[in-house]
Amino acid sequence: MPNAFNFAASPFDCLTQAEQRLVRDHVDVVYFPKDAVVLEVGAVPEHLFVLIKGRVTQFDADEVVTTYGPDDSFDGRGLVARKSSSRFVATEEVVAYALAHQAVNELIAANTTFGALLFSDLGHKLSAVSARHSGHELQALNLSRVDEAFVRHAYIVDAGTDIVTVVKLFQKERTTNVLVRDAVSEPPRLGIFTTNALQRAILSGRPLHELPVGDLTAWSLIAVRPSDQVGDALATMLQHHIHRVVVADGPVIHGVLEALDVFSFLSNHSMLIGMQITAATSIDALAEAAGQITGMIARQYRSGTRVGLIARMVQDLNGRLFERAWQLIAPPELVAHSCLIVMGSEGRGEQLLKTDQDNGLILRDGYTPPAELADICARFSDALTRFGYPPCPGGIMLSNPRWRMSAADFARTARQWLVMPDTESLMHLAIFMDAHTVSGDAHLLEEVRAALMGLSTDNELMLTRFAAAVELFGSQSGWWNRLLGDAGERLDLKKEGIFPLVHGVRSLALAHRVAATGTQPRIDALVAQGVLSPQMGTELVDSLYFFMGLRLKAGLDEMDRGQPVSGAVDVKALTTLDRDLLKDTLGVVKRFKAQLRHRFKLGAL
């Protein structure tokens, strides 16, 4: 009975102590020489194999399905089905644990998570992973620091200020309270005056323009420190029956934390940033709000929020941010007669960490823009750079005149991309297909897109060239070796997984006139039309969000180390569960690419 069994590896890391003892009591060590067949197609498996040393390759006919390395297990599905559907061959000398079939059955019956991770399809595996992490989000947010929440600016007035002046300040600054400083008292004191106290001021009968705010100020001020936990700040408010506390570090006042903002913080971080964006009256204020988005993403992800939900939050916040910046920079007439669009991952609603700008401006036909249009667009691009979105190396942004034109010119340009499909034209077509309106008249974009869709299905050769981009990156089997950690390589998930998936779906959407811009809505539409099977649609969505989650985690880790964000994944740092899921998801992409080759006759190019 081996004692060195690695219970930290998936799916065994979810077992209880009693279940671990069951494993120890029913496992043996076996050996297979190189090229030995471990399991043949149609064989009845009697053991679950867990590799200690060496590699085993799984074949369907002559095609390599996947390769297993140390801590990987197989063939769970065959064991449950009582029939192996693949051939498993030792491609190196193999030493493995062999866990008896009866013991595996008992574990499956006792532990649903173990069963899901062992033999379920991709969707059930990801659901099991999600369930294991649920319940931690609220706890994590409660433990966040006060200065990570929405601390409002503190407005301070002297105790002798009259009530009318204070009310004007309320209205101008959209606040419900001011701090009141009484420098005359000994020692000097600081209090707070709120809109609730305003009622008492009115009922006092004294002329408000003569009534000093200090007469109605609550001088028993309750404060918390910026480093205190949000949960403790909320407990302080409940203890003292108050709705807000001052955030101070000794004599330094940082602001005011309100109960409503705490509740919003605990329920949805993005709501607070959205409030700041809406209330912003300057680019400086917007930059402050934009600076909080990455922190919000990190906290949401690390507290267990689903990647798809985070992506929707980010799309909403970025849309508000860009719209507000455009409204502050562009004159109202220009805003009304144009359509500001974002493209690429931002347009699809799949951007997480900030990436290059991809945006453009569609002008209404017949509208004469202001003479300073170039300067206005340059200021907008500069504002986005300040917000943390670097300029696009290819110049796909408002500051480039090629990406600001009338609707008719945009439609004409799109037709040129279709009829002259060189590399640059196809790239621009792909980027524009993902366009999403963030400000102005959305009908302008819809008109151009409708014209584009009407022409695309009549050009099968163009569709084939367009779809062929899925073959640009990756190799047939090289990434299996990287998953096992050969040569310490890092895996570029964008090239190996995300791009072929996203562009393949985009190609099918273009061929079948699907107007949606997001990858998941496109998949849903293609499934509804019968272009994709429901199973393939589900697996593609699951795979996309898994890839996005891994890239996000890798990017956040790089930021923590002070390194540039590359999005590449260190395969050696993956858990056995993540590595198992990554094999499954890359396998989905491989099958999808085979379907695309057949649909678009890619081998004919």
What is the residue-wise DSSP string for 456-524? HTT-HHHHHHHHGGGGSS--SSHHHHHHTTGGG-EE-HIIIIIHHHHHHHHHHHHHTT----SHHHHHH
Please report the DSSP string for 266-285 in residue order.
HH-HHHHHHHHHHH--SHHH
- Quick one: pLDDT at residue 3? 54
Question: What is d(CA 93, CA 96) in angstroms, rounded to the nearest whole number?
Answer: 10
The pLDDT confidence band at residue 456, using thresholds 50, 70 and 90, is low
Question: What is d(CA 523, CA 336) in angstroms, rounded to the nearest whole number?
Answer: 33
Write down the residue that tokens 């607070």 correspond to. 272
With beta carbons less than 8 A apart as the criterion, state whether 153 and 255 touch.
Answer: yes
What does pTM read for this prediction? 0.69
Which CATH number describes the domain made up of 12-120?
2.60.120.10
- Quick one: pLDDT at residue 9? 83
Tokens of 228: 């205190």
Q: Tens of pLDDT along 396-451?
A: 999 999 999 999 999 899 888 877 767 888 888 889 999 999 999 999 999 888 87
Q: What residue spans define the domains of the chain?
A: 12-120, 145-272, 281-413+435-445, 467-604
* C-alpha closest to that of 441 among 396, 406, 475: 406
Q: Is the pLDDT score of 264 beyond 70?
A: no
Taking domain 281-413+435-445, whether its CATH number is 3.10.350.10 is answered by no
- Quick one: pLDDT at residue 496? 87
Fold of 145-272: CBS-domain (3.10.580)
Question: What is d(CA 216, CA 97) in angstroms, rounded to the nearest whole number?
Answer: 77
Which CATH number describes the domain made up of 467-604?
1.20.120
Average pLDDT over the chain, rounded to an integer = 85
Mean pLDDT within 91-120: 84
Q: Tens of pLDDT along 128-176?
A: 565 555 444 445 555 678 887 778 899 999 999 999 999 999 988 888 8
Residue of higher predicted confidence among 405 and 11: 405
b/e map 21-47, b = 16+ CB within 10 Å: ebbeebbeeeebeeeeebbeeebebeb
Tokens of 525: 């539409």
553: which residues sit within 8 A by CB, 6+ positions away? 301
Mean pLDDT within 449-457: 73
Instruction: Please tell me whether residue 156 adopts helix, strand or coil conformation.
Output: strand
Q: Tens of pLDDT along 196-243?
A: 888 888 888 899 989 999 999 999 889 999 988 887 787 788 677 788
